[in-house]
Amino acid sequence: MKIQGVIFDMDGTLVDSLAFWDCFWKDMGKKYFGDPDFRMDPVHFDTYVRTMIFGKAISYIHGYLKIPCPPEEFDAFAADYVHHFYTTVAMAKPGAIELLTALRERGVRMCLASATDRRYLNIALESCGLAEFFTPETIISCSDIGVGKERPDVFLAACKVLGTPLSETAVFEDSALALETARRAGFVTVGVYDSHHSSAERLAAAADLYLGEGTTLADALPHMEV
């Protein structure tokens, strides 16, 4: 596939950070329900929460699960937890640095489009050794746009920054819903397997190229013609 530009998701795509939610449920369940084994239904989470703007996701979780504390307290709990996770636990996914380095050497333009709040994006990128590949202008959060990845707005904004045609711009995503959105908008789609997802088959179906279990991000390189 001929590619001039690439739009990357961060969590679960470039950064192995989706274990955040497993740890989050454990600590949240223990703190608010006395149950460290608490989990939101994974299908409900994938469908309604994963692609939301982070702040909206936390508000949704607070209301949907009827968390027994004021919203402000739960917001603060989530903010502290996310900062701790990105600085101490998250790491670059296998092949991420190799892929980004190769694309940069080939002159492929790159942009980050994430549902994570902007205040955490730079922390995560620095912590995982990925900050050198992006500039402030090429880092876009759904919170900047005002909608999540159930709509193509963040991808279209990223493509405008890149200045590349949609048909030659690849979107790398681990979320089936987000990848479906990108595909409907006319982008080339690359699905990235993540063990924390419950919808691998749906992700593969939405992908022009699927990087399944056992692959790394660098395995996309032979399929990308500049």
Q: Does domain 5-17+90-223 match CATH 2.40.110.10? A: no
152: left (phi over 0), alpha (psi -120 to 50) or beta: alpha
User: For all residues of the chain together, what is the average pLDDT?
Assistant: 93
Q: Domain extents for the chain?
A: 5-17+90-223, 19-88
Task: Find, among 175, 186, 179, the residue nearest to 206 by Cα.
Answer: 179
Q: pLDDT tier at 226 (50, 70, 90 boundaries)?
A: confident
Question: Residue 18 — very low, low, confident or very high, per pLDDT cuts 50/70/90?
Answer: low
Q: Tokens representing 20? A: 């955040």
Write down the pTM of the prediction. 0.87
Please tell me the least confidently modeled range out of 29-33, 53-57, 135-139, 186-190: 53-57
Q: Residue 47's pLDDT band (boundaries 50, 70, 90)?
A: confident
pLDDT at residue number 124: 93
| pLDDT higher than threshold 80 for residue 80 | yes
Write b or e for each residue in 21-57: b if 16 or more Cβ atoms lie within 10 A of its Cβ, otherwise e. Answer: beebbeebbeebeeeeebebeeeebbebbbbbbbeeb
Is the pLDDT assigned to residue 43 strictly greater than 90?
Answer: no
What percentage of the chain reaches a pLDDT higher than 90? 74
Residue 199 has pLDDT above 80, yes or no: no
pLDDT attached to residue 174: 93
Q: How confident is the model at residue 50 (pLDDT cuts 50, 70, 90)?
A: confident
Residue 123 CB contacts under 8 Å (≥ 6 apart), including other chains: 83, 86, 87
How far is it between the farthest Cα atoms of the chain? 53
How big is the CA angle at 210 (ends 208 and 216), to the nearest 5 degrees? 140
Q: What is the DSSP string of 76-121?
A: HHHHHHHHHHHHHT-EEPTTHHHHHHHHHHHT-EEEEEESS-HHHH
In degrees, rounded to 5, the angle at the alpha carbon of residue 79 between the alpha carbons of residues 151 and 100 is 55
